[in-house]
Amino acid sequence: MNETTLQKLKLPLKALFTGYLLAIGLGLLMAGAQIMLTHGMADGKFGLSVDDIIYSYHGNHDGPNASKLESKLFGSMKDNAPPEVRMALLKWADAGAPASEWENNIKPKIVEYCGPCHANMPGLANITDKAVMDQMTKRDEGQSIATLTRVSHIHLFGISFIFFMVGWIFSYATGFSIWLKSLLIFTPFAFLIVDVASWWLTKLNPNFAWLVIIGGFGYSLASTVMIFSSLYQMWIMKSPR
């Protein structure tokens, strides 16, 4: 029986699989960095915590920075304006965002420091518009249903395809029992479903925030095992005679 294995693949297929796995591995690292710089700063401190997950999906319903504007100014947008400008915006938001200060005091600061991105980049809220800013200064309710729906279907479609390709390549690996190999291939899909479902559950109840971390960690770990095992067997492990 001449079973196809990673060690026995022709060089062009090894090159194809290797390029894909390296790109996907780098993509996973960049995704982790992006999470740290966005969700990981939701509580104003670097590093992903349960509070970050709660603020991102359920919202920050209590405390002095309970609006999205204040959360951003304490978190991921903290360094994007001089301290005196940031403090002026925080005081304005904390005072209830009075309309009397918008035109002459607040809007010019927003246009200068926030407008270059928020008024020109698709996907970012145009906070130079007073109606949009009014929404930003309301109590932070976390991700909206519309946003969760959009992000959920993108993740389920896109990341499932990534896991399918990684699992397909890993299916040619040797040295794993059929049950262990099957479990590793299935695990990222299971944790992806847990991850996306936990966003919705956390939106409803902050006690589910742990599931978000567990889901992301689970599919990342399983994918890492499959990627490194596949690369090792293609280029380092000696093929049996």
The model's pLDDT over 88-146, given as tens digits with 9 standing for 90+, comes to 888 887 777 888 889 888 889 988 888 888 878 777 778 888 888 887 777 666 678 88
Q: What is the pLDDT of residues 15-67, one digit of tens each?
A: 999 999 999 999 999 988 888 777 765 555 667 777 778 777 876 655 545 67
* Tokens 């990222």, located at residue: 188
CB under 8 Å, gap of 24 or more: what pairs does 141-145 form?
A: 141/59, 141/61, 142/55, 142/56, 142/57, 142/58, 142/59, 142/60, 142/202, 142/203, 143/56, 143/57, 143/199, 143/203, 145/203
Q: What sign results for the dihedral spanned by CA atoms 99, 105, 110, 115? A: positive
% of the chain at pLDDT higher than 70: 87
* Distance, CA of 34 to CA of 53 (rounded, Å): 14
**3-state SS assignment for residue 69:** helix
pLDDT at 1: 44
Q: Where are the domains of the chain?
A: 11-54+141-235, 66-136
pLDDT at 133: 84
pLDDT top residue among 141 and 78: 78
pLDDT at 186: 97
* Distance, CA of 241 to CA of 238 (rounded, Å): 9
pLDDT at 46: 65
pLDDT at 41: 59
* Distance, CA of 234 to CA of 21 (rounded, Å): 12
